[in-house]
Amino acid sequence: MSTGSDNSSPAGIPTPAEVAALDARFNTASTPEILTWAWERFGPQAAVGTSFQGAGLVMMHLAKTAGIRFPVFTLDTGLLFPETLAVKQRLEEFLGWEIEALQADLTVEEQAEAMGPELWRREPDLCCTARKVLPLQRKLENLGCWLTGLRREQSSTRAGVGIIELYTFESGNGPRDIVKLNPMANWSRDAIWQYIHQHKIPYNALHDQGYRSIGCWPCTTKTGAGESERAGRWTGFNKVECGIHTFMSKKVNFDI
């Protein structure tokens, strides 16, 4: 099925009316039920994007337990902590899944030559666009459904996240619709970590050192008591999102 709004959107994209019905259904559905819907609807055109935060780890394990083999990708900015690269490898071995590393057009060194050193210190939005948003956008052009580990509890900017959302963005072939599925939206941090420990899932060793949300090393610090989980990202800047969750336009809005 197509939305009928353009020719470049993939098969399986629900209409806004169907998204509304699915949203109501998914708010009381189990996470494996939601994952199964994505797999039956899109097959390998549904893919998990992960930066190896806790929710993504649980989601991948739940999928594997349900017999679902989503493709998985991560944004390898060239500025990830060694601990993050290590957990990617450990997770690949644990799940038996290969995780695709998406990279920017320019290496970190080439970016420094073209735009000056340490762009993240001067223009983090530009740096995130080059190293995260554009590689992701290219990936999404080949997908019908992007699965994320976003949770409502993470920060005020994520409090309104829907379990299913319909977005549109400009692809090389014109406007394109995509389903963004956030099956972990209702999970609490405690429930995530209880699940991780119960199933002995490999996780980023930095979590044991006081880091709660982990991105690129230049833009990640530990969080203090009482701060939101993402307070340690882009400290010193009025920036709370890298842009990968804000560059598309939402087609349907619901009150959560």
CB 117 to ligand SF4: min, Å: 12
**Amino acid letter for position 58:** V
Three-state SS annotation for 160-224: CCCCEEEEEEEECCEEEEEEEECCCCCCCHHHHHHHHHHCCCCCCHHHHHCCCCCCEHHHECCCC
According to CB under 6 A, which residues from 54 to 93 bind ligand SF4? 77, 79
- 230 contributes a contact to ligand SF4 by CB under 6 A: no
- 120 contributes a contact to ligand SF4 by CB under 6 A: yes
The residue range among 36-44, 128-136, 180-188, 205-213 that interacts with ligand SF4, by the rule CB under 6 A, is: 128-136
CB 74 to ligand SF4: min, Å: 13
Beta-strand ranges (E) seen in the chain are 46-49, 72-75, 99-102, 145-147, 164-171, 174-181, 249-250
* Sheet bearing 174-181, strands edge to edge: 99-102, 72-75, 46-49, 145-147, 174-181, 164-171, 249-250
Out of 48, 58, 68, 128, the only residue in the binding site for ligand SF4 (CB under 6 A) is 128
CA distance 53 to 51: 6
- 124 contributes a contact to ligand SF4 by CB under 6 A: yes
Number of residues that bind ligand SF4 (CB under 6 A): 13
According to CB under 6 A, which residues from 144 to 203 bind ligand SF4? none
Smaller CB distance to ligand SF4: residue 1 or 112? 112
Smaller CB distance to ligand SF4: residue 5 or 228? 228
CB 109 to ligand SF4: min, Å: 14
Rg (the chain; Cα; Å): 18
Is 145 in contact with 181 (CB distance < 8 Å)? yes
CB 231 to ligand SF4: min, Å: 15
Is 3 in contact with 15 (CB distance < 8 Å)? yes
CB 210 to ligand SF4: min, Å: 19
Count Cα atoms within 13 angstroms, Cβ side, for 67.
Answer: 2
- 219 contributes a contact to ligand SF4 by CB under 6 A: yes
Q: Which residue out of 128, 145, 216, 242 is catalytically annotated?
A: 242
Q: Is 242 a catalytic residue?
A: yes
CA distance 252 to 233: 29
| List of residues contacting ligand SF4 (CB under 6 A) | 77, 79, 120, 124, 127-128, 131-132, 215-216, 218-219, 242
Which residues form the catalytic set?
A: 242
